[in-house]
Amino acid sequence: MTIDLLSQNPITPLQEIKLPGVEPSDVTILLKRLDLTHPQISGNKWYKLKYNLLFAKENSYDTLLSFGGAYSNHIHALAAAGNIFGIKTIGVIRGELHQPLNPTLRSASENGMILHYLDRNSYRRKNADEIIESLKEMFGNFYLIPEGGSNILAVKGCTEILKSIGNNFDYICAPCGTGGTLAGIICGCNNSKKIIGFPVLKNGQFLYKNISELVYNFSGQYFSNWKLQTEYHFGGYAKVNSSLAQFIFEFEKLNKIELEPIYTGKMLFGIADLISKKFFEANSVITVIHTGGLQGLKGIRMRYPFLFGICNPV
């Protein structure tokens, strides 16, 4: 398959949804279904990888290297993209090798990705010169994509998410891991609308700095029309409790749309809570980004069988 396929962004629906526990109100919620972007290069990852892949091709790189955890959506999508477009991929994984591989890493390996493990202390220094040089000695020359895919080219790609949404909304909301997607949305909105990010990591206030830097480095501007809601992380990355699991179960029954609990599920829980607190103005239209990541559901259900042992209602 030719990499020129990336020149066109997939068309995905924008549909009205209901949230569990939210009484009928004058707030309209529209879900942008980026989970339907591509079967393997899912959700926001298509947009974050798009210009990185094109840059690698234009500059004759034949190998891509990036970093991620054992359940990383980014690692999963990068491996799939490498397989689809005929580019070698290397995934530097946080922690030690565990056999059998979990579903995310098994899929990455089956897509041809070389998996290399760094202990957690070394992984914290993954951007240090000595770590990068040791990887080059091991694997030769490669194009480096940062953890989560969040760089200037990712921001450029994520500005294009707005193109298929239009302007008929007051708020746009997205979950945040490394901040690249929200930075692209901020730049794409160009200081119009109100933008809310929902960090999935504990103490996510640090993302204000990261996102501001990504926005400025791409656009040369700072924008004031965005904020973060940092209270809906449920204890930290990949942490889930029974309240969130039940919310997702009820959401899927109401809307017949599948969610994962790491990103989009946490954000929608937060939006439901904010609506109950009258955070949004009357007659507001809220556009919400479903960032995909459904590949991680198998691993999550293995990790939390006592929470996700229920039948999938979709």
The structural domains of the chain, with segments of one domain joined by +, span 3-40+157-303, 44-149
Q: Is the predicted pLDDT of residue 244 greater than 90, yes or no?
A: yes
Q: Cα dihedral angle (108, 113, 119, 123), rounded to 10 degrees?
A: -100
**pLDDT tens readout for residues 133-185:** 999 999 999 999 999 999 999 999 999 999 889 889 999 999 999 999 999 99
For residues 105 and 116, the answer to whether their CB atoms sit within 8 Å is no
Q: How far apart are CA 135 and CA 64, in angstroms?
A: 12
Topology of domain 44-149, per CATH?
Rossmann fold (3.40.50)
State the pLDDT at residue 309. 59
Mean of pLDDT values over 272-276: 96
Angle between helices 44-58 and 180-189 (to 10 degrees): 90
CB-facing half-sphere around the CA of 236: CA atoms within 13 A: 0
For residue range 13-40, list pLDDT tens digits in order: 999 999 998 887 789 999 999 999 999 9
pLDDT band at 47 (very low <50, low <70, confident <90, very high): very high
**Range 179-192 average pLDDT:** 95
Domains 3-40+157-303 and 44-149 in one fold: yes
Q: What is the pLDDT of residue 43?
A: 94
CA–CA separation, 260 and 243 (whole Å): 14
Please give the Cα distance from 40 to 36 (Å, whole number). 10
Cβ atoms 74, 68 nearer than 8 A: yes
User: What residue type is assigned to position 101 of the chain?
Assistant: L
Whether pLDDT at 311 is above 50 = no
Q: Please give the structure tokens belonging to residue 1.
A: 């398959």
d(CA 209, CA 217): 12
Residue 188 has pLDDT above 70, yes or no: yes
Residue 136 DSSP one-character state: H
Instruction: Dump the DSSP string for 156-216.
Output: HHHHGGGGGT-S--SEEEEEESSSHHHHHHHHHHTT-SEEEEEE-STTGGGHHHHHHHHHH
Please state, for a pLDDT cut of 90, what percent of the chain lies above it. Answer: 85
Task: Find the helix or strand (DSSP H, E) in which 289 lies.
Answer: strand 285-290
Residue in the structure block whose two tokens are 């994984």: 93
Q: What is the pLDDT of residues 101-124, one digit of tens each?
A: 999 999 999 999 999 999 999 999
Q: Does pTM top 0.85 for this prediction?
A: yes
Question: Over 50: is that where the pLDDT of 314 sits?
Answer: no
CATH code of the domain made up of 3-40+157-303: 3.40.50.1100
- pLDDT, position 153: 98
Mean pLDDT over the full length of the chain: 93
Give CA–CA dist 301/251, Å, rounded.
17
Band of residue 313 on the pLDDT scale cut at 50, 70, 90: very low
Which pLDDT score is estimated for 308? 65
Per-residue pLDDT band at 219 (split at 50, 70, 90):
very high
Question: What are the tokens at 134?
Answer: 């040791």
